[in-house]
Each structure stands twice: as structure tokens, then as C-alpha cells.
Amino acid sequence: MRKNSIKNTRINGEVLRELSSIIHGGIKDPRIHPMTSVVSVAVAPDLKTCKAYISVLGDETAQADTLAGLKSAEGYIRSMLAKNINLRNTPEITFILDQSIEYGVNMSRRIDEVNRMDEQKRANMPFEEGGE
């Protein structure tokens, strides 16, 4: 099976959907932040390993605690994944922190800030009449 085959893409989508529901509804670990989302999933073509990219909306300690909680619950997550998805092999999951959402929010905030400063500068500029 090729890495980007239709079957692999479908498996990635299904694993992503199931991981999201397991993390939000099945894990009772208090270390896992409530604003945790699964950004993307990459299942290896042989179905042995899986990289799950996780985004946590919070400070660095919340991110570290969430990763630790997910790593400790990996066995439970894997068993629930095997129960809910019928695959030949249940992949071994590696959780990776993805900060792209946080980066996008910060960049959007900075753009808004620059736009506000630009509007203030225009408002404070004297109006120039042209032509004569």
C-alpha cells in the first residue's frame, strides 16, 4: 500500500475521528486539558505505527501535562481504537504536540494589532487637500 493511497487516507480520517471522540469522551485523566484537539493523524502503510498531532489551547504546562496524560493512557486509547475500528493491526500511537493552531491565533492577533495601529495613525494624520 502506497503512503498516500486512497485506503490510507480513509484510514487516517477514521483514526482521527475515533481518537478525537476517545480523547473527549473516554479519558477521565485530569491532566488532559479540555481544549485538546487532534489536528491530524498519519498511520503508517503497514498499520503498525501512528503519529497523532495534538493541539492544546493553553500554556506550556497544560500542554506538557496533556501530553503526559495521553502517553499514560495510550494503552486504553489503543484498546478503544481496536474495539471501534476493524483494522488488521491496531497501530501503536505516538502523540506529537502541534502548535500550528496556537501560532495561527498569535499571528492573527498580531495582524489585528498592526491594523489597529495603522488606523490610529491615519486618524491622527491631518487631512491634506490636494490640487492647487
For the chain, which domains are there?
Answer: 6-124 (3.30.300.20)
pLDDT tens digits in sequence order for the chain, 132 residues long: 455 788 888 999 999 999 999 988 878 888 888 888 899 999 988 889 999 999 888 788 888 999 999 999 998 999 999 898 888 888 899 999 988 777 888 899 999 999 999 888 888 877 665 554
Distance CA 80, CA 77 (A): 5
pTM greater than the 0.85 cutoff: no
Distance CA 91, CA 49 (A): 5
Q: Of 55, 46, 52, 56, nearest to 93 (Cα)? A: 52
pLDDT computed for residue 15 by the predictor: 92
